[in-house]
Structure 1
């Protein structure tokens, strides 16, 4: 690391103890920025880096709600508004028992650069709660969402902060959150949340966008090397929104996805995933992966080991942070994996990334490869502002162009800073330069 960059990182460690995921995210970005600062030292003036790693606002609040038995439950709510230099804060809400300030800060920091790469004029933020929707009734989820939005509503708006969904927050939760926001503000401000229902301000292709975008990015990586997804075997982790639509788009490109997973285990289907069955189980019945195996004779359920042991040409980690470890990376390389594109946020550990890069596996970080979701969220905001409704094909075409632009920008930036083919450096440096230029132009704030 450049000495000045190293000093900033050491200060991050001092001021943010016991936040390992946040440290990991900052370290990855700052390591990539050393050649940028060496060549353009003006980007380190006026404590720009020190301001970049410090959120503009950190909101922590109590969320009391009443369960179906009449008992009062208390959760914590978070919103980290990290950087608004390019536009209103934009980033999802995660409802999961693992949520804490460390997790939300790492996600919010990643969001700064991801959003900058889209070129859509949106800043970086993230939020959520340690509330877990699994096992809760619809009425309990509604009451929690109403209680959560009662406090969050003070801090958001279509020109201030625009949350969306993430793990544990889908169309159902967004609906309850939007209804409470409307009730509290007496405004039909459709642009305040994205991921809305299609009948009340949502965008076609938003549900599919993150998974589709990840596969589009992988296809661009292969195309740049004269290859194609047609006929390739794909390993996918997760079984939520991102994983399901990564599987769908991979199948559309002629590839054969053979795995998926949730917290109860992972599935290998040697004949390829039956997407209709997976959607029915996960999106309609909200079931577990074992339900798929019970109805699919060609599928195997595993409750131990790693799905990354399955031989594949393309790996798409779409579950959660730090799910793919060093040993998994070695196995993927040994089995001939050609491409790893992150559908989740920071799913590969630093050690795994090093192995991919040393083995010349094409590796794309989440801030580039999974930017499709927030890109279409910004397109949803655009439609809301103009009271327009785009067709599915219009949105998907725009998404494909954005993902191609992100891919090409990453490669060009990596070349510019002396590391050809390094998507990590390219993504971090390109996003940073866009943010840094705006921060310099707008003064010390």
Structure 2
């Protein structure tokens, strides 16, 4: 007689109901817990206050300044002088006989054509700003401030009508400011001003063809150097963009990353043998080395950088040491794990030939961990190029320090963009180079 055992595998009704209730509870509880956590962080991190203090219009202006430059047309009322300059710099001031075509000066009358119907007429201490779709703003600088007449209707958001100052910016690339001492017009243009050569350079405004012909010409601009080197020096010594200084800083950043990574790999591999249980029988020694790895990588690279800056002062060496200390812990841990997972049969095969212990490591162990070693070292080298930029910003030198210097004022955002673009290009080049080396060394391609 066969026994019916199916009932032992069928859950009773109460168990099924309890499971359904538990799943339903989890379906509701998990989203509620996530929502509660996000709500807590929203207020704990002060997001409402941050949004209240935020100035998105300021961010838009800075973004515009990073990809464009402006030409200032300034009427100094006290000295009764007119000046037209790029970014308002004395070193980039136009000669009165060579003003831009959109600026016309005739005695006290100054006409500025900002394009698309935007037109400013300056006569003495009065400016008339014609704005399409709005009307004409008439403003006069007086002894105690500014007197302004606006078209009838509500005052637009882009217009700041204050008794002490008029600030009209109907578009991002057009602006008029008037105080009791001066009338100032800003006209924006896309691109980076004076990027190749300084405004007062003999090469300013030359086309690529003209520069090529000049480089091949036997008539030297400077009798002490060839035209080619004169062009190169004018580019590198550009005071506005400091190409030479930035190239040196980029080289320092790369060397900081390379030196730190190679040092970490050189120390991490021998220590990894001491941390691997199949190479070091001593539990105490293995425990000590592994805790050393935890200590080195447990302290962030930025903290190490601050410690070394306090100890040794500013300079690229402190950044390289910070990278080396942190990566010794990380690479040592990775290498030790790779060593513990090697195939001992290869080691035994090399031993059977009568090889010494060093030879067993050389021919039985290293070939097995070489792919991991090369891959991880190259990856950390690529990553440390970015890290070296951040470390440099703390004072270790390199491109990071130059980047921070350009961000101290609101006038050099185009220089900031330039450095960021160069840093991205270097990271891409390091990524491509490391990928090529991996294929060469590991895959043999």
Larger radius of gyration: 2
- 1 or 2 for the larger relative contact order (CA 8 Å, sep ≥6)? 1
- TM-score normalised to structure 1 length: 0.20
- TM-score normalised to structure 2 length: 0.20
